Structure 1
């Protein structure tokens, strides 16, 4: 059973967090969700093996396609249709694949900092394999030390909010090594759908991207914006603009989702 929270009232937004992160991390950073009620019913959950959700060691359960099924399961249990789907990084991939599976039940889609995909994916796969070797040889504590020395966030964000790197480390430190190995195996096997499939998705889509992050390259966001027929792309490069993302997301959902 996935750890799920429901808050607020209004049009429903099903939301998924990023790889090696959690709902708690998102609450700490405030990147995507407001601190007060804003007319959106937010249905959020910790992905398998993350946060307070259980997870096994079968990598198939962590594939983006499997996570899309998890999102649709949460949506079926907690939301009427149509409903908005969204997520950050890995969670945005889950939301995109879920929308492709049930476009008729998706009022709109929010893709925040989409992950590496297509031609940039192989480099990211090499990073994941390096992380696995480090875990195998020295344990997850060594991975935590490496992550502390090389925070996976844009420099402009770290300068404004150095505590966000610590929040990411806390999320990672709570993961089991065997589950994390399976999660990374699955990540190595994943990629976004072909452009030809995306061109068929007639769902209003908001793409939120930030600059100077090789793990979430602008290239992916721009290619998605070109491929998806009803996409809007917003790009930021400073922490002041990041503060507006929660309201931007809520406004987009209200614009496209019924109450």
Structure 2
């Protein structure tokens, strides 16, 4: 079968998840999980987290999906809870996607920010389902997590102060606009992107992120898969210290730190080479 790229939806744990499947059937599968309030489309538009090169290289079949409540995926219920969007719960979605596309063989995993947290929880839960890992933009974790949780709470409360979705969206955009843009994103088009989550769902999604953290050190130290850790500089929401600690804890990890947008844009090719 020739290489192709197809977009469709599948039902995972009650939610309709949109996905893009790039590469030939029969190739080893890579599952790609994006960041908080992002989507497949956002990653392509901003060039941050665009891993299409993995599927286009011809050695792997790439399945990129929108997390529940993000992008073209739905939340799975009319009354979603913050717990539904915590990383350990999203890990069950990732594992179900892996089972759907590669029921009989391990998959590789790519994560970015929330996706990295999701992937690590999935690996801890079922380590035998994975053969190689790409952990990009590791987020705040452990001792640096509390300040980020406070920020999520503030953003959720800001949205909830408004009866009008338009006013809530404008207030949130003003918060984003007031925050300094790290120099590493200077050449990223459309940065920061608008959230790819419905405004009414965002407080729940933010609170779910606030419930989340990376697995504890002792569990991470048991992850033996070859791992590529990709970090970027100058972003307090994704401190290099998290990436450095992961590279220290994981017994088979390589760390690469980007200082420019161009370097981040090269992560797709780097991941493709690592996974080939």
TM-score over 0.5 for the pair: yes
- 1:27 maps to 44
SS at match of 1:125: helix
1:225 aligns with 2:242: no
Match status 1:122 vs 2:146: yes
Is 1:48 the equivalent of 2:65? no
Matched residue of 1:111: which SS?
strand
Match of 1:11 among 7, 25, 28: 28
Secondary structure of the 2:68 match is: coil
How far 1:38 moved relative to its partner?
A: 1.0
Structure of higher RCO (CA pairs closer than 8 Å, 6+ residues apart): 1
Q: Is the 8 A contact 1:85 1:99 kept in 2?
A: no
Cα distance in 2 for partners of 1:175, 1:235 equals: 29
**1:65 alignment partner in structure 2:** 88
| The structure with more helix, counted as a fraction of residues | 1
**TM-score, scaled relative to structure 2:** 0.85
- After superposition, the C-alpha distances for 1:118-149 in whole angstroms (9 at most, x for unaligned) are 00000101111110121112423210222133
Query: Partner residue of 1:136?
Result: 160
Matches within 5 A, 1:66-215: 66-79=89-102, 80-138=104-162, 139-150=168-179, 153-158=181-186, 160-161=187-188, 163-165=189-191, 168-169=193-194, 172=195, 174-215=196-237
Q: Which runs of 5+ in 1 are unaligned?
A: 255-259
CA contact (8 A) 2:185 2:191 kept: no
Check whether the contact 2:233–2:259 (CA below 8 A) recurs between aligned residues: yes
Separation in 2, partners of 1:243, 1:178: 32
Deviations 1:57-100 (A, max 9, x none): 21121111110000001111112511101111000111111111
**1:228: how far off?**
0.8
**Cα RMSD after superposing both structures:** 1.6
**SS of equivalent to 1:143:** helix
TM-score by length of 1: 0.90
Distance 2:30 2:71 in 1: 20
Task: Give the whole-Å Cα distance in 1 for the aligned partners of 2:260 and 2:191.
Answer: 16
